[in-house]
Amino acid sequence: MSSPFLQMIEDKMRLKRYAKRTIQTYVYWIKGYILFINKKHPASCHNEEVEQYLSYLTNSLNLAPRTQGIALNALVFLYLHILNNPLSLELNFNKSRLSNKLPVVLTPNEVKSLLVEINANYILPCQLMYGSGLRLMEVTRLRIQDIDFKYFCINIWQSKGNKSRRVTLAKELIPALKQQIAHATSYFEADKHNKNYQGVYLPYALAKKYPSAPFDLGWHYLFPAKRLSIDPEVQALRRHHINETSIRKAVKTASNTLSFNKHVTCHTFRHSFATHLLQRGADIRTVQEQLGHTDVRTTQIYTHVIEQGANGVRSPLSDL
């Protein structure tokens, strides 16, 4: 990063234990804001310039409400935690009015067809996304010890919004999971004999609190990368988790082969999980807990895409 100011922001966010992707996102929007104000120092600007920038995102770039909200959050952080000059609570800017899209949902048969078509190397991560409602990054970041075979559940730690939760585990996946653990263990045993290997990455200060944990099998990733790599932050030789891009490509390739008339992504598995649970009569609060939503209103969007139609209304055309 060439800008010392942006580097300072990144360092500050890391100290506050923000997720790596959140740091990257906030720095991206703060950089965009600085370019918008013609590279003036943000300390010399305040509410008016921020309002102009947020309006620009809507008027000129036509961004969605959620994206505009992320940019606003980044600037709120900048002025509150970096410049110690909080923004007004009543900013006056042109808010994006683009309508939010309904989630794309597959039928159970479509999910079954898609899972059959996906490359065998990536079936299990996709089965977990559908079977447990996991996000893509939640799957890739799973540690071996997160799988609880005794209670048939998966522990998700410090996910989106720094929230943790426990989700259901399909019993049908237990043999495949045990095989995957054996596969990850073989990498672990080989890495132990590499004198340059410095253990698996641990978040925050866990590595200092538990010095032996980076070399503990349970902390290693369930889906390890094929090759060792250098951790750029500490220049340590580690084995990272599988690259999420490879899973995205596998899902896209399988979807294109089946010619679904839908825009299918990895997140479609999560949408389908929630919708199919509701179709089977699951309580919406239960689905909310499984998905890790803070507000039940976020979960309620799935009630609009259930198989019976809009809110269960029967079309009069069906009686003709």
Q: Is 302 annotated as catalytic?
A: yes
Q: What is the DSSP letter of 98?
A: P
Question: How far apart, in whole angstroms, are the C-alpha atoms of residue 188 and residue 224?
Answer: 9
Catalytic residue, from 143, 270, 271, 276: name it.
270
- Residue 160 designated active-site: yes
- Please say if 14 is a catalytic residue: no
- In the set 135, 238, 271, 276, the catalytic residue is 135
Active-site residue, 267 included: yes
Q: Measuring CA to CA, which residue among 17, 96, 112 is closest to residue 55?
A: 96
Distance CA 138, CA 99 (A): 27
Length of the chain as a residue count: 320
Distance CA 201, CA 86 (A): 35
Question: Is there a contact between 30 and 50 (Cβ–Cβ < 8 Å)?
Answer: no
Alpha-carbon span 295 to 78, nearest angstrom = 26
**Residue closest to 29 by CA, chosen among 57, 51, 2:** 57
The active-site residue, picked from 160, 165, 248, 252, is: 160
| 293 a catalytic residue | yes
Q: Distances in Å between the alpha carbon of 131 and those of 125, 271, 288, 290?
A: 10, 11, 15, 11
Residue 263: active-site member = no
Q: What residues act catalytically?
A: 135, 160, 267, 270, 293, 302
